[in-house]
Every structure is written in C-alpha cells, then in structure tokens.
Structure 1
Amino acid sequence: MSYVKIWVHLVFSTKNRHPYLTKNIRYKLQNHIIENCKEKSIFLKAINGYTEHIHCLVSMGKEQSIAKIAQLIKGESAYWINKNRLTHETFIWQDDYFAISVSESNIEIVTNYIKNQENHHRKKSFDDEVKEFR
C-alpha cells in the first residue's frame, strides 16, 4: 500500500492582482473552496487570503500533482465566482501560482500564518510576502 504525505503551501492571486476579494466575497469563496476540495478529494488543512490572493495548505495524495490541484481549485472557483456574479467584471485568476513544500514539523506554523493573513497584510504587501518565500 502506498503512503504519501507531502504538504504544499499554495498561493495564487487574482489577474493583475486586482483586489476583487473583499471580505464578503473572500469568506464565501473560501467556504466554497473547502467544499470543492472535499468533493475532489483534496485534503485542505488551511485556507485564507487577502484582497488579491489566497493561501492554501494541502496534503497531496499519491496520484495528485501540484499543477492538477491548482487547476482544480483555481478553475472551479473562478467558474463559481462568475456563475454567481460575485464580481462586477469577469473574474480570472492569474495563470501562475506559488507552491512550496512544508515539512511536517512546520505544519502548525504555516497553518497559523495562513489563518492570520488579514493582520499580516496590514503591515506587508503581497509582493513583499512573495519575496520572503523566495
């Protein structure tokens, strides 16, 4: 029997980093992504974001890839946002995403980091945040 436990911190932003994700939209979106991940057998430990991006902490299954998980989350959520007309313009995610592996010993630290995105971004821009990961 195969055993795979690979944690990935996945971050993706709105097209041109447009601040579509107001609190109201962001909370609805996050709840939708949680349900969608359950349906697609994506183990999502944490999700949160800010006005122009979302963070997800996922544990990959043995037949999942980062690209496939990103596609399933981003593609379906953009479709859902547009279907429900949550934005005045057509909603699109940026093509790119950021993914970094997370060791088992850092899961709680990363989970807390994701949960505190609003406080974090009162002090730091998304661009500065991404530079720290590199």
Structure 2
Amino acid sequence: MKAKHHKGSHSVYSIYLHLVFVTKYRRQIITDDMLQTMSEVFQRVCGANKSTLMELNGEPDHVHLMIDLHPNNNISKLVASLKGASSRVVRKEFEEDVQKVYYSKPVFWSSSYYVASAGGVPLGRIKQYIQNQNGFD
C-alpha cells in the first residue's frame, strides 16, 4: 500500500500511525465479536477526528490499529478517545464476558499504549536528504 498525501487549506500531509492497545493486566478477553465492535467504534472516533482507521486486527490481549491521521489531532487525546469509547461500548455490549475477567471494576484497556509513525521513507534517507540541501553559504 502506498502512502496517500492529503491537501489541507495550507498544508499537504501524510501521517500514518501504528497503535497498539493492551488489555488491563494483559487479560486474554478479546473475541472476534469484540474486535468487530471495536472496529465500528474506532472508525466512528477516527471519522469524528477527520482521520481514517486503515487497518485493525488483534489477539485476545491486544489490538493493532493503523490510522491515517489528520494533522490537527493531538495523538494522546485521540488515543484517549479511542480507548475510552471502545471500553465503554465493549463493557456494555459484552458485560457478562467482561465481568468474568474484571469483576466489578470499570476497566478494559491498560493505561499504556504503543505508538509509532508508519509509512514514508526510512529515517536515514530523510537525514541524508536534509544534509544534502544547499547551506547558507
């Protein structure tokens, strides 16, 4: 997949994020049905933030997301929105399953997360490009 460049009123951008969210205490609770529900929630949250969920998959204790990010987003606020909304919906729609693992605590995700930029050219190439620019002779 090739990175897509978007045009804003005063910018051209291509920002892709790889996010990983883990369940609280790394409990193995995520099912295929939960993953489908999370996908719908993540798509809504991304859309509300002018961003796009490009890919989602996971395992019983974590999920991976790839997001095409709009530049006016604060990453930590977007992550909080994604985790908060998905946690609320999953805890409500899968209440019995979640309570078997988390009892009466209103939790689902660990407070930590992984984020990395994705796509584009390797860092060494960008560094070399910058170094090769004409200086201020």
Aligned with residue 119 of structure 2, among 95, 103, 109: 103
Which residues in structure 2 correspond to 1:29-40 (within 5 Å)? Answer: 29-40=38-49
Structure 1's unaligned 5+ residue stretches are: 107-134
Task: State the SS of the aligned residue for 1:20.
Answer: coil
Structure with greater strand percent: 2
Q: Which amino acid in 2 is paired with 1:46?
A: E
Q: Is the 8 A contact 2:43 2:52 kept in 1?
A: no
- Is 1:87 the equivalent of 2:98? yes
Equivalent-residue separation in structure 1 for 2:81 and 2:75 (angstroms): 10
Aligned CA-pair RMSD? 2.0
**8 Å CA contact retained: 2:58, 2:64:** yes
CA contact (8 A) 1:11 1:56 kept: yes
Provide the TM-score with structure 2 as the length reference.
0.67
**How does the TM-score come out when normalised to structure 1?**
0.68
Normalized per residue, which structure has more helix? 1
Identity %: 24
User: Paired residue for 1:19, among 24, 28, 42?
Assistant: 28
* Counterpart position of 1:50: 59
Indicate conservation of the 8 Å contact 2:42/2:53, yes or no: no
Structure 1 CA distance for aligned equivalents of residues 109 and 51 of structure 2: 19
Which ranges in structure 2 are unaligned for 5 or more consecutive residues?
1-9, 123-137
- Superposed CA deviations along residues 23-55 of structure 1, whole A, max 9, x for unmatched, are 222222223322332233221111111101111
Question: Does structure 2 retain, via aligned residues, the 8 Å contact 1:81–1:91?
Answer: no
Secondary structure at 1:97 match in 2: strand
TM-superposition CA deviations, 1:49-70 (whole Å, max 9, x none): 1101111111221211221221
Secondary structure of the 2:112 match is: coil
Alignment-mate amino acid for residue 98 of structure 2: T
If you compute each CA radius of gyration, which structure gives the higher value, 1 or 2? Answer: 2
